[in-house]
Amino acid sequence: MSLLNGIVPPVLTPLRADGSLDLDSLDRLVEHLISGGVSGVFVLGSSGQVAYLTDAERDTVVDRVVALAAGRVPVFVGTPDMSAARVIDQARHVEARGADAVVVTAPLYSLNDAGEIAEHFRLVARAVSVPVVAYDVPVRVHTKLGVDMLVELGREGVLAGVKDSSGDDVAFRRLVAANRAAGSPLSLSTGHEVMVDGMALLGADGAVPGLANVDPAGYARLWRAASEGDWTAARAEQDRLARLFEIAFVPQGRSGDAAGIGAFKAAAAALGIIDTPTMPAPMRGLTDAETEQIVAILDEVGLTR
């Protein structure tokens, strides 16, 4: 079974109205995901607002989800940081707390070339025992991981998989083909909420859609249809989920983080999955009018409390 097989949602980090972690909501959310049919959960990702959590909060989230998952599904943990030395500190730390795999980006802030970035992944992989998944997210990290480098690191046993949030579908199809030609050392997953059918068609092993926090069962159905080769059903479910994804475009004139994750949290709160849609400072939550529009979309696609 491929490491990133099926649907592995990047888990939202629910907050109480005062901005502190809301662990009861986190529990409820994770149960909602598992009962919805996901294959794993990914904490401390971009949708989990890892950037806004202190080290102490990160520890709390990891501990809670590891305990709750209790081996039912694997727990992937994100470790974004500026360099190999710092990622290693984080990766060893979360491995010790029970992470089943770590999800590692290219360096932040640093100005490294492709050779240095490959070595960055090698240094991290050497320092931990759990599998390393490369997280390709140029919109945040400002580096695109190359197809040849990823497959080579797969061959070397450095990387076990790739979560592709690059939006570069040409590169992803080339990666799928090159990985297959190399004996499939990598498990390949797309981060794109609205392209899961197409990516499954071309050979993705799974998907890591933030929107699955809102409708895990929908994504599970989509994946099942795709796995069975029922592309008409897969497309229909994906079209429904693409309509649902329009919640991310309801907020206008907001930052990327405030709009997208704000919409996911507003929807999850409206559905009662989490208690409040509170956003970490300095971001503000959505307006009532925006939330109403989001609720209307939830109704439209058949999601109700």
So which residues are the catalytic ones?
A: 135, 163
| Interactions with a copy of itself, residue window 262-301 (CB under 8 A) | 280-283
- Cβ neighbours for 46, distance < 8 A, ≥ 6 positions apart: 10, 78, 137, 140, 165, 210, 261
Write down the least CB distance from residue 277 to a copy of itself, Å: 17
27: its two tokens: 């529990």
Q: Which of the ranges 28-36, 137-145, 150-158, 217-225 carries the binding residues for a copy of itself, by CB under 8 A?
A: 137-145
Q: Which of the ranges 7-15, 62-70, 194-202, 293-301 carries the binding residues for a copy of itself, by CB under 8 A?
A: 194-202
Q: Which of the ranges 25-33, 95-103, 215-223, 253-261 carries the binding residues for a copy of itself, by CB under 8 A?
A: 253-261
Question: Phi/psi of residue 45, each to 5°?
Answer: -95, -175
Among 109, 129, 288, 305, binds a copy of itself (CB under 8 A): 109
Among 24, 55, 156, 299, binds a copy of itself (CB under 8 A): 55
Rule CB under 8 A: say whether 233 interacts with a copy of itself.
Answer: no
Rule CB under 8 A: say whether 244 interacts with a copy of itself.
Answer: no
170 versus 305: smaller Cβ distance to a copy of itself:
170
SS (H, E, C) 21-63: ECHHHHHHHHHHHHHHCCCCEEECCCCCCHHHCCHHHHHHHHH
| Interactions with a copy of itself, residue window 67-96 (CB under 8 A) | 80, 82-86, 89
Q: How far apart, in whole angstroms, are the C-alpha atoms of residue 220 and residue 127? A: 34
Q: How far apart, in whole angstroms, are the C-alpha atoms of residue 46 and residue 11? A: 9
Of 106, 98, 113, residue with least CA distance to 79: 106
Among 59, 63, 119, 152, binds a copy of itself (CB under 8 A): 119
Among 18, 71, 113, 129, binds a copy of itself (CB under 8 A): 113
41 a known binding residue?
A: no
214 in helix, strand or coil?
Answer: coil
Q: How far apart, in whole angstroms, are the C-alpha atoms of residue 190 and residue 98? A: 25
Angle at 246 between CA 286 and CA 48, to 5 degrees: 60
Q: How far apart, in whole angstroms, are the C-alpha atoms of residue 253 and residue 220? A: 32
Write down the least CB distance from residue 107 to a copy of itself, Å: 7
- Tokens 């609205």 belong to residue: 194
Among 31, 59, 63, 116, binds a copy of itself (CB under 8 A): 116
Among 51, 67, 289, 296, binds a copy of itself (CB under 8 A): 51
Number of residues forming the site for a copy of itself (CB under 8 A) = 68
Among 10, 198, 210, 277, binds a copy of itself (CB under 8 A): 198
**Quick one: 246 exposed, middle or buried, by C-beta within 10 A (0-12, 13-18, 19+)?**
middle
146: its two tokens: 């190359």
Rule CB under 8 A: say whether 193 interacts with a copy of itself.
Answer: yes
Q: How far apart, in whole angstroms, are the C-alpha atoms of residue 166 and residue 264? A: 20
Question: Which positions touch a copy of itself (CB under 8 A)?
Answer: 46, 50-55, 57, 80, 82-86, 89, 107-113, 115-117, 119-120, 122-123, 139-142, 167-170, 173-174, 177, 192-195, 197-199, 201-202, 229, 231-232, 235, 238-239, 242-243, 246, 249, 254-258, 280-283
Pick out the residues of the known binding site for pyruvate. 208
Pick out the residues of the known binding site. 208
